[in-house]
């Protein structure tokens, strides 16, 4: 995981370039009371991040990109395939009781449901609580009866970005998205294979990885 964290010196360089552009590395080094060689790694990082633009024989320009935008560019550049975690999947015929046991054993908040290998639904803590507090026989009731069913399941694909995942989690006020791979059955019906999950917890971990030193 690449952590994007600019040092106070790098931020100082950006400010100097903003106020004095174009400015050469010699001029920058003099202002910072450093040698050009000592300054080079910082200038390399800032030009590679597209924050500064180096024009030969002219000097450095500020690209207009805020140091703070880098985090959002980073989130948008990360693909779901890079961050997805293992999904917990049960069959539609699994009883509500067994699904609740699975929820505890696997320490998750959401379980994905499949039928013949294709995603058919999602069942979460609230769905289980709702059915458990009613007068229901959860030992015989299949999970397929209580789940949120396709086509109402919100999903995401490997090639979407981490930002797309956050957008969907927030827009639909849900904790977890199945990552799917579309395929067609022999009748040409559109189906989805479950290949992973992206949860709010995973997004929090991504932010933590980005920010930790």
Q: Strand, helix or coil at 10? A: helix
How many residues bind to ligand ADP according to rule CB under 6 A?
A: 16
Taking the complex as a whole, the smallest distance from the CB of residue 75 to ligand ADP amounts, in Å, to: 20
Cα–Cα distance measured from residue 207 to residue 179, given in angstroms and rounded to the nearest whole number: 20
Residue 127 or 164: the one with the smaller Cβ distance to ligand ADP is 127
Taking the complex as a whole, the smallest distance from the CB of residue 132 to ligand ADP amounts, in Å, to: 12
Residue 13 or 177: the one with the smaller Cβ distance to ligand ADP is 177
Q: Per CB under 6 A, which of residues 130..189 are in contact with ligand ADP? A: 148, 152-154, 174-177
Taking the complex as a whole, the smallest distance from the CB of residue 175 to ligand ADP amounts, in Å, to: 4
Cα–Cα distance measured from residue 161 to residue 110, given in angstroms and rounded to the nearest whole number: 21
Residue 28 or 169: the one with the smaller Cβ distance to ligand ADP is 169
CA–chain centroid gap for 135, Å, is 39
Q: Per CB under 6 A, which of residues 28..87 are in contact with ligand ADP? A: none
Residues 176 and 199: beta-carbon distance below 8 Å: yes
Residue 6 or 192: the one with the smaller Cβ distance to ligand ADP is 192
Cα–Cα distance measured from residue 63 to residue 73, given in angstroms and rounded to the nearest whole number: 15
Residue 47 or 95: the one with the smaller Cβ distance to ligand ADP is 95
Q: Per CB under 6 A, which of residues 77..136 are in contact with ligand ADP? A: 109-110, 122-127
Residues making contact with ligand ADP (CB under 6 A): 109-110, 122-127, 148, 152-154, 174-177
């Amino acid at each position: 995981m690449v952590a994007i964290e600019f040092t106070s010196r790098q931020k100082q360089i950006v400010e100097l370039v903003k106020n004095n552009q174009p400015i050469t590395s010699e001029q920058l080094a003099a202002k910072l009371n450093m040698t050009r060689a000592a300054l080079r790694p910082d200038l390399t990082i800032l030009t590679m991040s597209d924050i500064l633009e180096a024009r030969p024989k002219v000097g450095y320009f500020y690209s207009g990109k805020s140091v703070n935008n880098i985090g959002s560019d980073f989130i948008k550049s990360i693909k779901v395939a890079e961050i997805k975690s293992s999904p917990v999947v049960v069959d539609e015929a699994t009883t509500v009781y067994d699904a609740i046991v699975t929820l505890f054993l696997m320490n998750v908040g959401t379980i994905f449901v499949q039928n013949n290998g294709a995603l058919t639904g999602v069942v979460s803590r609230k769905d289980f609580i709702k059915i458990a507090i009613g007068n229901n026989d959860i030992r015989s009731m299949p999970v397929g009866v209580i789940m949120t069913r396709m086509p109402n399941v919100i999903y995401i694909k490997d090639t979407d970005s981490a930002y797309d995942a956050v957008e969907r989690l927030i827009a639909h006020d849900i904790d977890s998205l199945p990552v799917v791979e579309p395929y067609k059955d022999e009748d040409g019906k559109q189906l989805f294979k479950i290949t992973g999950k992206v949860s709010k917890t995973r997004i929090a971990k991504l932010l933590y990885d980005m920010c930790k030193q």
